[in-house]
Structure 1
Amino acid sequence: MLTAVDHVQLAAPPGCEELLRGYYVHVLGMTEVPKPPALAARGGCWFRAGSVRLHLGIEPDFRPAKKAHPGLRVTDIEAYAARLEHRGTPVTWDTGLPGHRRFYCQDPVGNRLEFLEPVTAL
């Protein structure tokens, strides 16, 4: 039986680790998690915020997916969107998911990210 998602892996081009660190730590507010030495040699970076874990692995012929993405829950979605925009990441709001506020953006290598917050009934 499945019990949880342990992590989501996204791809990234070779040599972009510093760019990823700047974005995932300073823009999204995540913490970098050291990779085990045997995996660190492959490049890439791992990040965490609470129970959310994102792994970015190096792919030599990287092309960002146009549709695939992680859906990341946030609190105070308006403030979180403002944080991203203030740090240079444009967001695109979407009203297509009933019961949620959500927006999309792209990381610096073109990975699509979705941020959403359930709407509480009044």
Structure 2
Amino acid sequence: MILGLHHAQITIPKEAEEEGKKFYCGLLGLPEKEKPKSLKGRGGFWLKVGDRDVHIGAEDGFDRLKTKAHLAYQVEDISYWRNMLEQNNIQIIEGVPIPGFERFEFRDPFGNRVEMIQDLGMS
């Protein structure tokens, strides 16, 4: 029986951990979670997102701009995130409307697709 989602993983290029931490921990404000000692040598880093984890792995040879795969972060104030990202020169991509939600997408500095979504309480 599947009990729930334990974690999700995205990847960034090898040797980009510091830039990744600046974006995800600095700009988005997600706290870093310490990786187990046994996994520290594999590169990347882990984040805490609510009661779940997002693992940022490191791999080369992958074109992140060619995939629809993404993470969607549930937010309380989507206008704040839109404005903050635009002020940091992140291009906003309008998503297909979903009744009861406001949302938009963008690409992180590594090409990963990211969605911000707010429940408008009508679903």
* TM-score (normalizing by structure 1): 0.89
Which of structure 1's runs of 4+ aligned residues deviate more than 4 A?
none
SS of 1:70's equivalent?
Answer: strand
In structure 2, how many angstroms separate the alpha carbons of the residues matched to 1:11 and 1:48? 16
SS of 1:21's equivalent?
Answer: helix
Q: Hey, what does 1:67 align to over in structure 2?
A: 68
**Which residue identity does 1:59 align to in structure 2?**
E
Cα deviation for residue 87 of structure 1 reads 2.5
Query: Residues 33-69 of structure 1, C-alpha deviation per residue, up to 9 Å, x if partnerless?
Result: 1111211101011111322421111113232152111
More displaced, 51-60 or 66-75? 51-60
SS of 1:48's equivalent?
Answer: strand
CA RMSD of aligned residues (A): 1.5
Question: Percent identity among equivalent residues?
Answer: 33
Q: Hey, what does 2:85 align to over in structure 1?
A: 84
* TM-score (normalizing by structure 2): 0.88
Number of aligned pairs?
Answer: 121
**Which residue identity does 1:115 align to in structure 2?**
M
In structure 2, how many angstroms separate the alpha carbons of the residues matched to 1:84 and 1:54? 20
Change (3 A) 1:94 1:60: closer
In structure 2, how many angstroms separate the alpha carbons of the residues matched to 1:7 and 1:108? 21
Query: Residues 5-44 of structure 1, C-alpha deviation per residue, up to 9 Å, x if partnerless?
Result: 1111001211000010000011111011111121110101
Query: Residues 82-109 of structure 1, C-alpha deviation per residue, up to 9 Å, x if partnerless?
Result: 1222233222222422211000011111
In structure 2, how many angstroms separate the alpha carbons of the residues matched to 1:102 and 1:84? 13
